[in-house]
Amino acid sequence: MQKQRTFSIIKPDATKRNLVGAICKRLEDSGLRIIAQKRIKMTKEQAESFYAIHSNRPFFRELCDFMISEPVVVQILEGTDAVIKNREVMGATNPAEADKGTIRKDYALSLGENSIHGSDSIENAKIEIEFFFSKDEIVG
């Protein structure tokens, strides 16, 4: 049991369908605390840099185009074992494989338009938080 921070993005398919509140409620009901949050329109450069690890994958262009298509909400979540907890609440990347009651099972449209991103490790959470937030934006 460890107090951690993780990073989350409520993606364009969800902001477009007015699901920000519903998704935040799922996160908060799980015990995670939203300690920083902002609605932004990601730039092409930001999307390509954030997802650089996937730059050789066939879906990279589609992924970046999607992430800049509508506003997103970037968040820092804090709580006990926040990285794993958030991944449990989100469900599997592919909504077809996500467990019942998870965000992706209930809201995602497809593997690409899967409503929410969450860091996959403590190390990546730190990198992803620093990518989008300055220290003075983390208000607790």
Residue ranges binding ligand CMP (CB under 6 A): 54, 59, 62-63, 93, 111-112, 114, 117
Q: How far apart are CA 93 and CA 31, in angstroms?
A: 21
117 given a catalytic annotation: yes
Q: What are phi and psi of 137, to 5 degrees?
A: -90, -10
Closer by beta carbon to ligand CMP, 1 or else 56: 56
Closer by beta carbon to ligand CMP, 75 or else 136: 75
Of the residues 23, 102, 117, 132, only one is catalytic, namely 117
On whether the CB atoms of residues 9 and 72 are closer than 8 A, the answer is yes
Sign of the torsion formed by the C-alpha atoms of 98, 41, 17 and 111: negative
Closer by beta carbon to ligand CMP, 58 or else 140: 58
Annotated catalytic sites, by residue?
117
